[in-house]
Structure 1
Amino acid sequence: MIKINLAPLDRRRRRRAGFQLADFQFALPSFNLGVLFAVVYIAVVVIIGGYWWYRASTASRLAAQIETDQRELASLKATIGQGAKIKEQLADLQNRIKAIQELTKNQGRPIQLLDAFLDTVPPDLWITSLEEKTSMLRVSGTAYSTTAVADFMANLRRSGKFKDVDILVARQDLAKNPRPVTFEVTCRFEI
């Protein structure tokens, strides 16, 4: 049997390309899918390779930056250490300067004290010890009479440089001849 298709030409082409289902036509593509997948595969490989290259270059750049920053940090730590050492030396020098200033400020005080003190000592009295603690002066000595001790205390008051003159102890040794008087006097020296 021979079949002859008498349908118009464009209908025949449509039927050959695929089957028709209520205005839906399924047709095979006119290009090769293998080529499409190869192009997509190459594009994906290029994109992944580019991303990997970007990440690798970023990692190496960051590693170099970290190394540079660590060197800078080490040098800054050394500088800070030197700064702390200099601050300690500065504090030490300031303490030394204060001590020197204190010594030089009070350097004339002992001379003035002895000068003022020598003018108050009567001839029949001698000093055995002289102590100064803070501003208080403690004088111990011996005299031939209690009058000499009284004159000494009066001279201290009269000088104007000695304040709060008090006698702590005055003893006369009756066993010796002449009878010496040992005494202790406290006062405050003011310049």
Structure 2
Amino acid sequence: MALIFPLLVWGGYVFLPFDAPLLDSAPLRLVYTLRCSVFAVVPIILGWLVLGVSRMRLGDVKPLCEVEAWEVGVHRRYVDDSVTLFLLYFLQLAVMAPYLSQDLLKLVPLLTIIFAFGRLMYWVAAALGSSIRGFGFGLSFLPTMAMLGANLYFIVTMDAGGTIFAQDVVHQQDPPPDSRQRFWG
């Protein structure tokens, strides 16, 4: 899996026929990241829908009072794990996007596609009881770890100029102190 993920990213970057729009500021890049991340939520929403349907079909609408059926448990664990993994994924993507150069901004939708595809593969394999679900988990977990490594690199090596964290330093003269001391200091 660790060998296939970089090949997927490279192949998608080189061969997929889309380019990121021209985004010159960090807030625009964060909005673009948010828009792309909406597609990563689609497998989670499908999981919630299937979980609800399987609970209604099996009559397992009170999961805390009784032992839940295997089918309901698989979908519930998928949704719980997917939400947690998505939050980690989105946090890393939102931190990474302002640091990327314009030509590397194509990685934002590409990593989102890989994440969503990995979650769907994991869900299908888990529902079928297959051991191939590790492949789907790897496709959704390795982008997060790769972005974590890139974010650590960006934070340590780059200055904050041009990102959302940049602050404009304005030098103002302090007003002269009042001659009268107030009771609060």
Shorter-chain TM-score range: under 0.3
TM, length-normalised to structure 2: 0.24
Q: Which has the higher contact order (CA 8 A, sep 6+)?
A: 2
Higher helix proportion, which one?
2
